[in-house]
Structure 1
Amino acid sequence: DTGATGATGATGETGATGATGGGAVIPFSSGAPLAVTTLAGGLVGLPGLIGFGSSTQSLTILGATIDLSGQTNYAFSMPRDGVITSLAAYLSATAALALLAPLTYTVQLYSSPSPDDVFSPVPGAVVDITITGTIAVGDTFNGIATGLSIPVTGQTRLLLVASVTGGGLVAGGTVAGYVSAGLGIE
């Protein structure tokens, strides 16, 4: 037999604060191959919108903003305030393309803080991948932007966009491939 339970002792001192966690990683994947275009003279053409296992080519040429009104939605909403710390991008070519000059494959984060369907580029949250020579099926390219400290408020919508410029192609061209990316947010 045991006796009655004794009184609870005094609460101990608060321990030291633990280390900050690594934050969240938001994964992006095009799913099927994604085609993005460049226009004659190497100007940016139709970009690709990348979601979570799916993607689509935008219906309009890339400008200063992207308006998703009437298009398929590939954006997500921030559930809380956060800080973007990094962006990594990867491309695996699914079609060959002979380049006459270097081409820049850009993966850029766009945001809509309002929130609405109009998105603008997030300065600094961009990976530019320079490609030279000939792109062969199965060629892979990658890049990363680290050391970022970009605040994002809760309810801001974020959209990942791929585009291309350059390449020296007289009549324009298409870069097709699987796209993967990861966004670090604390």
Structure 2
Amino acid sequence: PAGATGPAGATGPVGATGAVGATGAVGDPGEGAIIPFASGTPVTLTTVIGGLLNTSSAVGFGSNLPGISAASGTINLLGLTNFAFSMPRNGIITSLAGYLSISAAISLLGSTVTVSAQLFQSTTPNNTFVAVPGAVVTLSPALTGAIAIGNISSGITTGLNIPVTQGTRLLLIFSSHVTGGLDLASSIAGYVSAGIGIS
């Protein structure tokens, strides 16, 4: 008959490490960061006949600054309140959303006024900002006729691919423009908010 099984031998040395496997597929890109904006108190957006003297409002993080002249596409904040933030890294602007809730009734009979939010940048950086091409959202519906308190307009622009470099200062401006009917002077008052998507 077979003899009893002998004791197990000592464990042998660890074998050599195998070759590194192939790199896996690249994962889906993350959604990136969302930069929120809110006016706090109502903004004031004015139109003047001809449009060249329209005034806008800079919007920050719970406050706003009215009386900004942005019609030329360039804004100088020297000596004014700071509402810009600085980019801590390179990024891509991918989307921009905006919202308006009217806080004072207004009559725009015979005219149509459109509100928009435009992103401005200072790449130097300094206190002079220029409009970022394409980084704008137009709110709808446009304002026309008798506009009551609580009337809401909103919008979102997606599919953007706008590079922005580390250190650039970004500034968000809400404006109004006469886009139809009679060219008139108007003053739009309302609470606004916005959000920028940056990957």
1:176 CA drift (Å): 0.6
Distance in structure 1 (CA, Å) of the matches to 2:85 and 2:16 = 49
Aligned length: 180
Q: Counterpart of 1:122 in structure 2: which amino acid?
A: V
Give 2:166's aligned residue: 154
Match for residue 112 of structure 1 among 111, 122, 147: 122
Structure 1: gaps of 5 or more residues: 1-5
Structure having the higher Rg: 2
Match for residue 81 of structure 1 among 86, 90, 97: 90
Distance in structure 2 (CA, Å) of the matches to 1:63 and 1:41 = 13
The residue correspondences of 1:5-20 to structure 2 (distance < 5 A) are 10=17, 13=21, 14-20=23-29
- Relative to the length of structure 2, the TM-score reads 0.82
More deviation, 94-103/84-93: 94-103
Q: Contact 1:95–1:176 at 8 Å: present in 2 too?
A: yes
Name the SS of the counterpart of 1:132 in structure 2: strand
Note closer, same or farther for the CA distance 1:61–1:79 as it changes in structure 2 (3 Å cut).
closer
Give 1:174's aligned residue: 187
1:40 CA drift (Å): 2.5
Distance in structure 1 (CA, Å) of the matches to 2:17 and 2:45 = 65
The answer as to 2:197 corresponding to 1:184 is: yes
The residue correspondences of 1:23-172 to structure 2 (distance < 5 A) are 23-43=32-52, 45-60=54-69, 62-99=71-108, 100-129=110-139, 130-166=142-178, 168=182, 170=184, 172=185
Q: Contact 1:104–1:131 at 8 Å: present in 2 too?
A: yes
Could you tell me the percent identity over the aligned residues? 49
